[in-house]
């Protein structure tokens, strides 16, 4: 059996796919992993259903597979199996908490549906791309956001014990990894179910020998308010990227309350200011949802004003997409043309802010780690996790090398410079 694994969605999903590949490669039933779907007779689709447009991409891909044997897992399998059945009546479906059942399900000549719930502790699911190594440190979350379907798919928080994470990091460093990404649905929740926390994990990972950097994944404001001081202190290690991804979603107190986000706009700003007070050059990323049900012009203006004040280095903007089985789907929706208008306004503001922030780096010399090559350009990450394109005459750096880069130009999305020969 020749199997190809196709992944949609977030870093956690990519880590889950890596775990699936490991299960398949170690299976005694004779599975060969193929690099493309064209060379496979069987395709495992690790699906995502976080937004409507992503869902459509997944369903289109499944339908494109024709007569190949198909098994669908991931979030869509957990919360919308009927949707999969309509697009692919012959596909097998295995919910994401039952990955261990995938090899056996593929070996079954009959279509199988495996949606049973499991409460067993999850295994760590790492994956690597070049010099980057990502570990999903937990599954699920403690939130109850009114618009989120992912929490229904992933379930309640189940953290991976530190003693299972640390050997994976240590092994990755010994094999040459230069960037360790700790990811989760909400890293700020990490450990509250197993008597530990995120700052403690960061501290222990930072003590592992080697020249590497740690990228901390997204944490919600509500989850880090109780541990803000120790979390900020954990960033003091030179091995921790000075980068924080803190989703705002809305600058309106009323909308945040309707979303059940459990913090206020002022609390978000206080967190941002605390990080910047400790690390003035830190890069901050955030998320905005435009057009949440009930969003008025005043609510939108509040979001616009707060984004301008917070001045994040990166903003991901999404128009609200109602998801089935969520409370927000039953609320009166904002008309789509109005969502698009507001989204366009926020996009313009975001670009202005990001260009202004990046312009401040021009003329400075920064230390960075070379992690990728894109065409003739080398791409490095500064210690603030800013992407830097490196071109020019003479010797280009090697992948994994630490370099000194003179920043010469920028876009709203990245910096560009040349090697400082000193």
pLDDT at 394 over 80: no
Q: Tokens at residue 172, please?
A: 């990755």
Q: Assign a CATH topology to domain 125-359.
A: pyruvate-formate lyase- activating enzyme (3.80.30)
Burial of 53 from C-beta contacts in 10 A (0-12 / 13-18 / 19+): exposed
At residue 179, what are phi and psi to the nearest 5 degrees? -135, 125
Instruction: Write the pLDDT tens digit of every residue in 240-283.
Output: 999 999 999 999 999 999 999 999 999 999 999 999 999 999 99
Q: What's the pLDDT score for residue 393?
A: 55
Strand, coil or helix: 251: coil
Contacts 24+ apart (CB under 8 A), 355-359: 355/410, 355/411, 355/412, 356/311, 357/311, 357/313, 358/313, 358/386, 358/410, 358/411, 358/412, 358/413, 358/414, 358/415, 359/410
> For 186-190, 299-303, 367-371, 391-395, which range has the lowest pLDDT when averaged over its residues?
391-395
Where does the pLDDT of residue 96 fall: very low under 50, low under 70, confident under 90, or very high at 90 and above? confident
| CATH annotation of 365-419 | 2.40.50.140
Confidence of residue 336 (pLDDT cuts 50, 70, 90): very high
Res 121 pLDDT > 90: no
Residue 125 confidence (pLDDT) above 80: no
Q: Which residue has the tokens 């901390």?
A: 216
pLDDT range class, residue 348, cuts 50, 70, 90: very high
Cβ pair 195, 230 in contact under 8 A:
no
Position 169 pLDDT exceeds 90: yes
pLDDT at 39 over 80: yes
User: What pLDDT does residue 152 have?
Assistant: 85
3-state helix, strand, coil in the chain (%, to 5): 40, 25, 40
Split at pLDDT 50, 70, 90, the class of 102 is very high
Domain ranges for the chain: 2-114, 125-359, 365-419
How many angstroms separate the CA atoms of 43 and 7, rounded? 11
Q: Which two tokens stand for residue 372?
A: 């990728």
2-114: CATH number? 3.40.50.12160
Cα atoms in the Cβ-side hemisphere of radius 13 Å centred on 18: 17
Non-local CB neighbours of 271 within 8 Å, separated by 6+ positions: 221, 224, 225, 228, 246
Helix (H) or strand (E) segment spanning residue 172 = helix 162-174
For the ranges 121-125, 161-165, 313-317, 363-367, the lowest mean pLDDT is seen at 121-125
Spatial separation of the C-alpha atoms in residues 13 and 153, rounded to whole Å:
12
pLDDT category, 99, cuts 50, 70, 90? confident
Token pair for residue 255? 């909308």
Structure tokens at 95: 């919910």
Mean pLDDT of the 143-160 span? 90
Q: Do 125-359 and 365-419 have matching folds?
A: no
Task: Tell me the pTM.
Answer: 0.90
């Amino acid at each position: 059996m020749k199997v190809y694994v196709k992944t949609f969605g977030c870093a956690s999903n990519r880590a889950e796919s890596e775990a699936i590949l490991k299960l398949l490669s170690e299976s005694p039933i004779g599975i060969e992993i193929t690099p493309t779907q064209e060379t496979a007779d069987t395709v495992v689709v690790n699906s995502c259903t976080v937004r409507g447009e992503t869902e459509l991409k997944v369903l289109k891909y499944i339908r494109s597979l024709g007569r190949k044997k198909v098994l669908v897992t991931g979030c869509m399998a957990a919360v919308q199996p009927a949707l999969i059945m309509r697009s692919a009546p012959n596909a097998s479906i295995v919910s994401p908490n039952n990955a261990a059942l995938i090899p056996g399900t593929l070996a079954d000549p009959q279509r199988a549906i495996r949606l049973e719930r499991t409460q067993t502790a999850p295994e760590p699911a790492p994956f690597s791309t070049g010099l980057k190594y990502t570990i999903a440190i937990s599954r699920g979350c403690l939130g109850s956001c009114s618009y989120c379907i992912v929490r229904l798919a992933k379930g309640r928080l189940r953290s991976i014990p530190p003693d299972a994470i640390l050997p994976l990091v240590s092994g990755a460093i010994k094999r040459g990894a230069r960037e360790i990404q700790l990811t989760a649905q909400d890293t700020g929740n990490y450990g509250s179910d197993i008597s530990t926390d995120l700052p403690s994990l960061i501290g222990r990972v930072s003590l592992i020998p080697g020249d590497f950097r740690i990228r901390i994944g997204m944490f919600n404001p509500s989850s880090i308010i109780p541990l803000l001081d120790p979390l900020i202190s954990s960033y003091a290690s030179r091995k921790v990227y000075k980068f924080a991804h803190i989703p705002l979603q809305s600058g309106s107190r009323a909308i945040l309350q309707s979303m059940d986000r459990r913090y206020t706009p002022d609390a978000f700003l206080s967190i941002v200011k605390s990080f910047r007070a400790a690390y003035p050059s830190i890069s901050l990323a955030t998320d905005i949802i435009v057009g949440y049900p009930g969003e008025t012009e005043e609510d939108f203006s509040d979001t616009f004003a707060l984004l301008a004040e917070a001045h994040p280095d990166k903003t991901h903007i999404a128009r609200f997409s109602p998801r089935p089985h969520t409370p927000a789907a039953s609320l009166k929706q904002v008309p789509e043309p109005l969502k698009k208008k507001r989204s366009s306004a926020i996009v313009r503001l975001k670009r202005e802010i990001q260009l202004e922030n990046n312009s401040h780096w021009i003329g400075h010399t920064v230390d960075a780690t070379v992690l990728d090559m894109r065409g003739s350009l080398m791409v490095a990450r500064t210690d603030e996790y800013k992407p830097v394109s490196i071109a020019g005459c003479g010797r280009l750096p090697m992948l994994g090398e630490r370099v000194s880069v003179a920043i010469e130009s920028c876009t709203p999305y990245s910096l560009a410079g040349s090697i400082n020969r000193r």
